[in-house]
Amino acid sequence: MTVSSKHLAFAALGLAAVAGTGFASAGNDSGAALHCEIVETASAGMSGIEARASSREPMAGTYRLVVTGPGANINQGGEFETRSGQTETLGSVMLGGNGGPYNVRLEVKAGGRTYACEDVIRHQI
């Protein structure tokens, strides 16, 4: 049995899609001036979500963190500053540990650009 180049292209696309899901919570390419990420945490049976940003050089801007799901409709935002090469926590949310799924979107505006990260938390963390 031979595999056509068309099938290989589809297989490569499928592999790229699966590989990309591991990075769904991190926004932007590695060469971007600012990088945002959504980090899941756990503490005392609660699920936590942290909105984080890092940059190669100091930056200032605004962020908006939106979390929606069963029993949750959270909108959080404000101003932030990053330090060169440091990861900063912009905001955080604690949720009951047995809920979900939760849709999480982080939008960061800095340096005249908008950066976005999205994730879905499907289970207890």
Both structure tokens of 120: 């879905």
In a domain, 53, yes or no: yes
In a domain, 5, yes or no: no
In a domain, 18, yes or no: no
| C-alpha span between 93 and 96 (Å, rounded) | 10
In a domain, 12, yes or no: no
pLDDT at 14 over 50: no
| Residues spanned by the domain of 90 | 26-121
| C-alpha span between 114 and 57 (Å, rounded) | 16
In a domain, 80, yes or no: yes
What's the confidence (pLDDT) of residue 30?
A: 66
Task: For residue 110, give the CATH number of its domain.
Answer: 2.60.40.2420
pLDDT at 89 over 80: yes
Q: What is the pTM of this model?
A: 0.73
In a domain, 76, yes or no: yes
- Give how many domains the chain has, as a whole number: 1
In a domain, 10, yes or no: no
In this prediction, residue 6 has a pLDDT band, given cuts at 50, 70 and 90, of: very low
State how beta strands 72-82 and 113-121 pair. unpaired
Radius of gyration of the chain (CA): 17
What's the confidence (pLDDT) of residue 29?
A: 63
What's the confidence (pLDDT) of residue 75?
A: 97
